[in-house]
Amino acid sequence: MEKLKIIIPERMTGERIDAAIARMLPEYSRSKITTWIKAGDVLINRRKFKPKDRAKGDEIVEVTLKQNENIRWIAEDIPLEVVFEDDDIIIINKPVGLVTHPGAGNWKGTLANGLLAYDSELFKLDRAGIVHRLDKNTSGLMVVARSEKAQKNLVEQLQTHTVSREYSAIVYGHMISGGSVDKPIGRDSRDRIKQAVTESGKHALTHYRVIDRFAHHTHVKAILETGRTHQIRVHLSHIGYSLIGDPMYGGKIRFPKKADEALKDALKDFKRQALHAKKLTIVHPISGETMSWKAPLPDDMLALLDVLSEFDAE
C-alpha cells in the first residue's frame, strides 16, 4: 500500500475536487479517482469529502493507493499468441474458448491469468492491463496496456471511438447489401443473461458490409462504433441475420432445403458463434502513431466457408 500527498494550488480554486486531483495525477483516470474518493481512500486535511465539492486552494490531499483487484488472481503458464508488443502495449490474438478475465465460475485459465505469467508487472494494473474484452467463444485481436498511462489513454480511445475494431462474421441468410444498425442495447428484460435491442438501453452502432454471399448464408464484415456487450450478435440477429453457431441469439440450427450431409454436419459441428476480431487499429498511447494489425480467420471459420462454397458450387 502506497500513499501520495499533494497540495491543490490556488489556481484550481473553484474547480470540482475530483477534476482538480485528476489534473494533478494524469496517470490515473478521473473515474478511478472518483471511486477512490467515494471509498474514503482520498482525504483532504485528513477528512472525507464528496467528488463534487469545490477546491478552495492549498488543501492537503492524501491518496492511498491500494493493491489492484487482480492481486488475488494467479499467474498461469497459458500459451498466448502475441502479435506485437513494446514497452507500453501487447497485442494478443485470442483463441476460441479462452475467457478474458477471472469471474464467477472462471477463476483460472483465463487470458488475464496468462498475461500475469507473461509479464508480472501487469499485477500493478487494474484487470492486468486489459481494457476491452472478447466473449469466450469469439476469437481475435485485443490490446493490453502495460502502464497506467497507456491504460488510461486506451480507455479514453475506446470511449471516444478512436479505436477501430473490424470483425468477420458468418450469418444465416442471403444478405443483399451492407448497412448500419443504430439501435440501443441493454439487458433483456425476459432473460438477464442476454442483451437485447431496447429503448432503455445504451446507444449502439454497428456497420456491416458483405464480404461473400452464398446461397443461404453470408460472410460479413462488421465494424463497431460502440462496444456494447454482445453488440454484433444482438444487432445482426435483430435485422434477421443471426450468427451461425450462436444459440443464444440465433435459436436452433437452420438447414437449407436440399442441404447435403456435408453442410448439415458443418452447421451441427460449429459449436461457437462464427465471429472473429480480424483487424484492430489504435493510436499508440505513448507515441501517438496510428497502428493497425490483422489476424487471419481461424481454421474452423475457414473450413465452414469452404463447405458453404462447395454447397453453392453443386
Instruction: Write down which residue in 14, 33, 65 finishes a domain.
Output: 65
Instruction: Write down which residue in 65, 81, 98 finishes a domain.
Output: 65
In a shared domain, residues 45 and 124? no
> What value does the mean pLDDT take over residues 243-254?
92
> Does residue 112 lie within any of the structural domains?
yes
pLDDT on residue 70: 67
In a shared domain, residues 56 and 83? no
pLDDT on residue 1: 58
Instruction: Write down which residue in 116, 146, 176 finishes a domain.
Output: 146
In a shared domain, residues 58 and 78? no
Nearest to 77 by CA among 130, 124, 118: 118
> Does residue 259 lie within any of the structural domains?
yes
| % pLDDT > 90, the chain | 62
295, 299, 303, 306 alpha-carbon torsion, rounded to 10°: 30
Alpha-carbon distances of 85 from 145, 177, 210, 294, 302, rounded to whole Å: 10, 37, 32, 14, 27
> Does residue 156 lie within any of the structural domains?
no
> Does residue 176 lie within any of the structural domains?
yes
| % pLDDT > 70, the chain | 96
pLDDT digits (tens, 9 = 90+) for 58-84: 888 888 876 566 667 899 999 999 999
In a shared domain, residues 301 and 250? yes
In a shared domain, residues 205 and 285? yes
> Does residue 153 lie within any of the structural domains?
no
pLDDT on residue 66: 67
> What value does the mean pLDDT take over residues 107-127?
92
User: Active-site residue among 88, 135, 246, 300?
Assistant: 135
pLDDT on residue 138: 96
Nearest to 222 by CA among 242, 203, 202: 242
In a shared domain, residues 54 and 186? no
In a shared domain, residues 198 and 295? yes
Residue 184 to residue 196: CA distance in whole angstroms: 8
pLDDT on residue 284: 97
> Does residue 212 lie within any of the structural domains?
yes
In a shared domain, residues 243 and 306? yes
Residue 175 to residue 235: CA distance in whole angstroms: 14
pLDDT on residue 69: 61
pLDDT of 229 higher than 70: yes
Q: Whole domain around residue 284: which residue ranges?
A: 164-313
pLDDT band at 240 (very low <50, low <70, confident <90, very high): very high
In a shared domain, residues 297 and 204? yes
Where on the phi/psi map is residue 247: left (φ > 0), alpha (ψ -120 to 50), or beta? alpha
Model confidence pTM above 0.95: no
In a shared domain, residues 270 and 302? yes
Residue 305 to residue 212: CA distance in whole angstroms: 9
pLDDT on residue 47: 87
pLDDT band at 313 (very low <50, low <70, confident <90, very high): low
Give the domain CATH number at 88.
3.30.2350.10
In a shared domain, residues 42 and 133? no
In a shared domain, residues 303 and 271? yes
265: Cβ contacts below 8 Å, ≥ 6 apart = none
Q: How many structural domains compose the chain? A: 3
Give the domain CATH number at 18.
3.10.290.10
**Cell digits of residue 6:** 499533494
> Does residue 180 lie within any of the structural domains?
yes
pLDDT digits (tens, 9 = 90+) for 120-136: 999 988 889 999 999 99
Nearest to 274 by CA among 217, 228, 313, 209: 217
**Known catalytic residue at 312:** no
> Does residue 155 lie within any of the structural domains?
no
